């Protein structure tokens, strides 16, 4: 019996290339798709998944695999949903995660709609995560490689998108993926990983935002928690909660950014202990099951991609707001970042941090 057609999001990197190779090897009718999302000149970096060279790398892989390859124009929606939000959040004193926005609005919304238009039933990506089906319900699980697990970035998925998606790499380690790439003789087998935000050259967020908004930033005061002026900052877009470097304030004890106040155009700094918090409020809260818990929910949670999970209690207010209380103090709870909830290997859901409580 012939397997389903699958549209594979191919960034030109080794992970998505191996995903396509594995699916073809498993009998799927594979079509490669590279999403053209940059609204202006593409970043010219081999470490960016959105560079022009990335398109050519993806094309080389599809030729090697002898599968069709499309370049899909998602420029407008990417600028609106991802870049626009990124810039707006930084101007609001928050620190967004554009990769999560991209997953929500581009990979698991716009790409699925494009698949529908092409008459393709499934999509696939190179993410290190797993999907489990029990009856009619789908669960999102961590990838088995703890160093590469990307489930944090995928908490925005729902039952519909999980039912349409394949993650061929989720049950493999990065080392195994490299080995598979070599076994298929893929031209990207030794390619370095993409580590930049795809639309921000050299990871220079401040310069990108200034250019995007025609330098709509201005200096302001750096204050301590009692309101004393300690110095001058170069624009709130250049700072994030927990930041220590670049403050330019000589003190015997290190100072850290503990709050960003866009209304006063001020950065508030304090000691290490002032960066800690045991509770937060989140909005845009989403539960993968599609059902909001009736009461409090005991979970483990993490407040950024690279942080460790910690025991926590989630108290939903309604279908989009929740309070999260941690059993241990968390460092640098940052508005704009996501808090993600787990039950063991299973992702329960998550939301966007609105404030530290």
pLDDT of residue 203: 74
Residue 211 lies in a domain: no
Residue 144 lies in a domain: yes
The Cα–Cα gap between 265 and 237 comes to 10
Task: Please tell me whether residues 61 and 189 are part of one structural domain.
Answer: yes
Task: Please tell me whether residues 239 and 185 are part of one structural domain.
Answer: no
Task: Please tell me whether residues 102 and 245 are part of one structural domain.
Answer: no
Angle between helices 205-212 and 84-91 (to 10 degrees): 100
CA pseudo-torsion sign 238, 242, 246, 250: positive
Residue 109 lies in a domain: yes
**Domain interval for residue 301:** 276-356
**How confident is the model over 154-206, as pLDDT tens digits?**
999 999 999 999 999 999 999 999 999 999 999 998 888 776 677 777 777 88
Weakly modelled stretches of the chain, pLDDT under 50: 47
The Cα–Cα gap between 269 and 231 comes to 10
Task: Please tell me whether residues 45 and 188 are part of one structural domain.
Answer: yes
Where is the domain boundary, 233, 251, 270?
270
Q: Is 102 noted as a catalytic residue in this protein?
A: yes
Whether this prediction's pTM lies above 0.85 is answered by yes
Task: Please tell me whether residues 137 and 244 are part of one structural domain.
Answer: no
Catalytically annotated residue among 49, 50, 99, 102: 102
Q: What is the 3-state composition of the chain as percent helix, strand, coil, each rounded to the nearest 5? A: 30, 30, 40
- Token pair belonging to 53: 């060279």
* Angle (nearest 5°) at CA 169 between 163 and 174: 155
Task: Please tell me whether residues 284 and 335 are part of one structural domain.
Answer: yes
Total number of domains constituting the chain: 3
Where is the domain boundary, 202, 237, 253?
202
| Of 260, 8, 257, 251, residue with least CA distance to 121 | 8
pLDDT of residue 312: 98
The Cα–Cα gap between 154 and 356 comes to 23
Residue 209 lies in a domain: no
The Cα–Cα gap between 240 and 357 comes to 17
CA pseudo-torsion sign 142, 146, 152, 157: negative
Catalytically annotated residue among 49, 99, 198, 315: 198
Task: Please tell me whether residues 66 and 31 are part of one structural domain.
Answer: yes
Residue 212 lies in a domain: no
Residue 69 lies in a domain: yes
| Of 89, 87, 97, 103, residue with least CA distance to 37 | 103
Task: Please tell me whether residues 289 and 253 are part of one structural domain.
Answer: no
The CATH number of the domain holding residue 78 is 3.40.50.620
Where is the domain boundary, 255, 270, 285?
270
Residue 240 lies in a domain: yes
pLDDT of residue 55: 86
The Cα–Cα gap between 347 and 301 comes to 10
| Of 291, 311, 352, residue with least CA distance to 89 | 352
**How confident is the model over 31-64, as pLDDT tens digits?**
999 998 875 555 555 545 556 678 889 999 999 9
Task: Please tell me whether residues 286 and 246 are part of one structural domain.
Answer: no
The CATH number of the domain holding residue 328 is 2.40.30.10
Task: Please tell me whether residues 259 and 351 are part of one structural domain.
Answer: no
Q: Is 99 noted as a catalytic residue in this protein?
A: no
Task: Please tell me whether residues 195 and 328 are part of one structural domain.
Answer: no
Residue 82 lies in a domain: yes
pLDDT of residue 210: 84
pLDDT of residue 49: 54
pLDDT of residue 54: 81
Task: Please tell me whether residues 93 and 157 are part of one structural domain.
Answer: yes
């Amino acid at each position: 019996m012939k397997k389903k057609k699958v549209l594979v999001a191919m960034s030109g990197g080794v992970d998505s290339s191996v995903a396509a190779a594995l699916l073809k090897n498993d009998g799927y009718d594979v079509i490669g798709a590279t999403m053209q999302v940059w609204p202006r000149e593409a970043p010219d970096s081999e470490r960016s998944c959105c560079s022009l060279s990335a398109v050519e790398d993806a094309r080389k892989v599809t030729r090697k695999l002898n599968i069709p390859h499309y370049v899909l124009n998602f420029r407008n929606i990417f600028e609106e949903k991802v870049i626009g939000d990124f810039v707006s959040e930084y101007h609001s004193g928050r620190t967004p995660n554009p990769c999560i926005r991209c997953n929500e609005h581009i990979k698991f919304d716009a790409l699925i709609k494009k698949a529908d238009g092409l008459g393709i039933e499934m999509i696939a990506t190179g993410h290190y995560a797993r999907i489990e089906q029990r009856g009619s319900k789908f669960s999102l699980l961590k990838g088995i490689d703890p160093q590469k697990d990307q489930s944090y970035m995928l908490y925005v998925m729902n039952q519909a998108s999980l039912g349409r998606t394949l993650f061929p790499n989720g049950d493999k380690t990065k080392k195994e993926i490299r080995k598979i790439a070599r076994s298929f003789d893929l031209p990207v087998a030794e390619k370095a990983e993409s580590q930049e935000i795809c639309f921000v050259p050299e990871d220079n967020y401040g310069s990108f935002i200034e250019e995007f908004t025609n330098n709509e930033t201005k200096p302001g005061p750096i204050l301590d928690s009692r309101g004393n002026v300690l110095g001058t900052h170069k624009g709130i877009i250049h700072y994030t909660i927990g930041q220590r470097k670049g403050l330019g304030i000589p003190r015997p004890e290190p100072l850290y950014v503990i709050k960003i106040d866009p209304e006063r155009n001020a950065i508030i700094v304090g000691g290490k202990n002032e960066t800690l918090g045991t509770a937060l409020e989140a909005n845009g809260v989403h539960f993968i099951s599609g059902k909001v818990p009736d009461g409090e929910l005991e979970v483990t949670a993490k407040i950024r991609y690279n942080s460790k999970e910690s025991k926590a209690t989630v108290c939903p207010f309604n279908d989009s707001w929740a309070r999260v209380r941690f059993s241990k103090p968390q460092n640098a709870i940052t508005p704009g970042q996501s808090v993600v909830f787990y039950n063991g290997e299973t992702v329960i859901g998550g939301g966007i941090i609105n404030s530290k409580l």
